[in-house]
Amino acid sequence: MLDNGVHLLAMLTKLFVTALLLTGMALAQTSKDEQAVRHLVADFVDAWNQHDAHAFAENFTEDADFTNVRGDSAHGRKAVENFHAPMFATRFKNSHQTADDIKIRFLNADIASVDIRWEMTGATDADGTPIPIRKGLLNWVATRRGDRWQILVMHNQDLTPQKK
């Protein structure tokens, strides 16, 4: 009976150690992926601040869906680029965006939900009149394609208080 107890204890110990190792590997992978998603956010903001529609669109998957604060949308990376090119040449040509309060939740190994608070200065309306500082929230579904994280779905919300 004692041998069975020792054998059972040895099996439980091996199981416990294996579980710890697997948990550690999962946490390490999540940390690496979190850094990659944060890098995606930085690339997104950098492309915006360079007013480069092509570089901006490169952050999106080929089959991405994009919706802006007014509900206008584009489907596909090229459509995202075409949507932003005229904006970067006019209303947003002097804009500067920052991102903070980034929240990432991994839904599985290749999909993450990402919330990003943003702030923008330097934008103008269609007539060229400066717009006061804007604040908003980006909601992304990001996905890993190969070794790269990209935006699959993006919804943008304007949280700037409205004048009364």
Which pLDDT tens digit goes with each residue over 100-149? 999 999 999 999 999 999 999 999 998 999 999 999 999 999 999 988 99
Percent of the chain with pLDDT over 90: 75
The pLDDT value recorded for residue 160 is 80
- State the residue for tokens 């080929």: 62
Predicted confidence at residue 25, as pLDDT, reads 43
Residue 82 predicted with pLDDT over 80: yes
Q: How confident is the model at residue 20 (pLDDT cuts 50, 70, 90)?
A: very low
pLDDT on residue 57: 98
Q: 48 near 115, Cβ under 8 Å? A: no
- The mean per-residue pLDDT over the stretch 147-155 comes to 96
Residue among 136, 148, 151 at smallest CA distance from 66:
151
The pLDDT confidence band at residue 13, using thresholds 50, 70 and 90, is low
Average pLDDT over residues 17-45: 74
**CA neighbor of 71 nearest in space, from 163, 162, 157:** 157
Cα dist from 119 to 25, 52, 63, 122, 123, whole Å:
36, 18, 27, 11, 11
Task: Locate all alpha helices (DSSP H) within the chain, ordered by sequence.
Answer: 2-49, 53-57, 77-89
| pLDDT beyond 60 at 164 | yes
Domains of the chain: 2-158 (3.10.450.50)
